[in-house]
Structure 1
Amino acid sequence: MLEKRPSTQRGQVDMGWLNSHHSFSFGSYYDPAQMGHSVLRVINDDRVIPAAGFDTHGHRDMEIISYVLSGTMVHRDSEGNEQRLPAGEFQLMSAGAGIYHSEFNASERELLHFLQIWIEPNVQGQRPGYQQKDFGLNPGLTLIASPSGEQGTLQIKQDAKLAQLILAPGQSLSYPLGVDRHGYVHHIEGDLTVNEQQLAPGDGVKITETAVLSFSNHSQQSARALLFDLP
């Protein structure tokens, strides 16, 4: 079963320096019907004006993934990590027993656009961790995060996988999800069809009791999305 989450129905927060769309309940946006999907708790589509950002704040027991779509992010945390994330890079911060961090737009002129994703871990109280990598923009499915860190992926503390999906015009492919798994697709750009469900940028789709996912791009431009394989 597929349940579409239209982009236009997401929660929105405009704080001047930050314009954010929330796929699920977060902060001041609350919808009891949108509390996440399986262990996927947050997808925030954030746009940060130049030289602004999130001041130091804390997290614990959460796997937090950031994916920079345009611009450059500066990350600092209480574990001593200080990194720049340019467009195309993924970051996985395991908050564990507790971590403090800040995120800022590195540019004085350009907008920072990134996705902030929270996944609940299956272990608690562990030492915080930090991982960062650029996986490129190869057509097809590219595994980004996995429980084992296989194929050089980011290692996530959950029985979950994250993949980047890129389809050229006219391209199709399938993914064996399994009826006992949950899935979620967050669409980023272009036009995408998932099992007959058409998605526009910003749309999402919750997936349950579905053995195989079929993806196709019938447009004249490339399509890009994120696929979550969840317990």
Structure 2
Amino acid sequence: MKAQVIKAESRGKADYGWLKANYSFSFANYYNPERTHFGVLRVLNDDVIAPSAGFDTHPHDNMEIITIPLSGRLKHKDSMGHTSFIENGEVQVMSAGKGIFHSEYNGSEEEELNLFQVWLFPNQKNVEPRYQQISLSTVEKHNAFYQVLSPDENDEGVWIHQDAWFSMAQVDAGWQSDYQVKKPGNGVYLIVIEGQVKVAGKTLDKRDAIAISDISDLKIEASSDSYFLVMDIPMNN
């Protein structure tokens, strides 16, 4: 097993006034040669966006883009014809494929928006762009892992063009379980949204993460009431 703890305060940071960003990997003006990606995981941005502010229309291609609002709601518009709000308790995915344009704004005039945006390299290039959005109420459980993303369009959660599985868990203090890696050779990137958990013997606090490869299962224990995201991803990008 290979494991690396990424403390929250060690992430790249940027404050643009309207946007306060935390970068787990090199992005925009933040560059760290030791943090360019983890397997197919290219981006994990923890963004706080001011009321009514956001990103003007911009392009993407050949990337799987997953957005998970943690508080507030996101206003989305894209070149595929989708206009929607994505709120806390929902997850959105776009397969950019051969090319899309979209804009993203805080959908509130009063409250900040906090979200995770995750980019994964796809396992197929130049696919037809696609969009999907679901409510996590259809899958969420308490004191258990619940799947929010997979490679199978008939499985729980959203689906993408990659052999990746995302699971979330909202658990009570004292909870413990073993996470089973979904595909041999995949690694796990776990980030704590709230609380404190111990993963493979390492203690992680709020927004700390751990990147682990060469494993088949992983012991996770909650030291307090906790909420976390587990990304189970191929290590070959």
Partners of 2:62 and 2:121 within 8 A in 1:
yes
* 1:2-53 Cα deviation digits (max 9, x unpaired): 1101111000010000000000000110000001100000000000000100
* 1:166-206 Cα deviation digits (max 9, x unpaired): 22121111112276221110111011111111111111111
Matched residue, 1:185: 190
Matched residue, 2:153: 149
Where do residues 39-188 of structure 1 align in structure 2 (5 Å cutoff)? 39-136=40-137, 137-139=140-142, 140-177=144-181, 180-188=185-193
* 1:97-129 Cα deviation digits (max 9, x unpaired): 000000101111100000010000000111110
Partners of 1:179 and 1:208 within 8 A in 2:
no
Partners of 2:150 and 2:156 within 8 A in 1:
no
> Tell me, what secondary structure is at the counterpart of 2:229?
strand
Offset at residue 149 of structure 1 (A): 2.5
Mapped pair 1:225 → 2:207: no
Offset at residue 161 of structure 1 (A): 0.8
Match of 1:205 among 210, 216, 228: 210
Partners of 1:20 and 1:46 within 8 A in 2:
yes
Q: Distance in 1 between matches of 2:106 and 2:10?
A: 27
> 46-55 or 131-140, which moves further after superposition?
131-140
Partners of 2:146 and 2:169 within 8 A in 1:
yes
Partners of 1:167 and 1:216 within 8 A in 2:
no
Q: Distance in 2 between matches of 1:217 and 1:225?
A: 10
> Tell me, what secondary structure is at the counterpart of 2:155?
helix
Offset at residue 148 of structure 1 (A): 1.0
Partners of 2:190 and 2:210 within 8 A in 1:
yes
Q: Distance in 2 between matches of 1:69 and 1:182?
A: 24
Q: Distance in 1 between matches of 2:191 and 2:223?
A: 18
> What TM-score do you get using the length of structure 1 for normalisation?
0.96
Matched residue, 1:28: 29
Q: Distance in 2 between matches of 1:67 and 1:223?
A: 17
> What TM-score do you get using the length of structure 2 for normalisation?
0.93
Partners of 1:163 and 1:227 within 8 A in 2:
yes
Aligned residue pair count: 229
Q: Report the RMSD for the aligned CA atoms in angstroms.
A: 1.2
> Tell me, what secondary structure is at the counterpart of 2:145?
strand
Structure 2 gaps of 5+ residues are none
> Tell me, what secondary structure is at the counterpart of 2:215?
coil
Partners of 1:54 and 1:104 within 8 A in 2:
yes
Structure 1 gaps of 5+ residues are none
What amino acid maps onto 1:131 in structure 2? Q
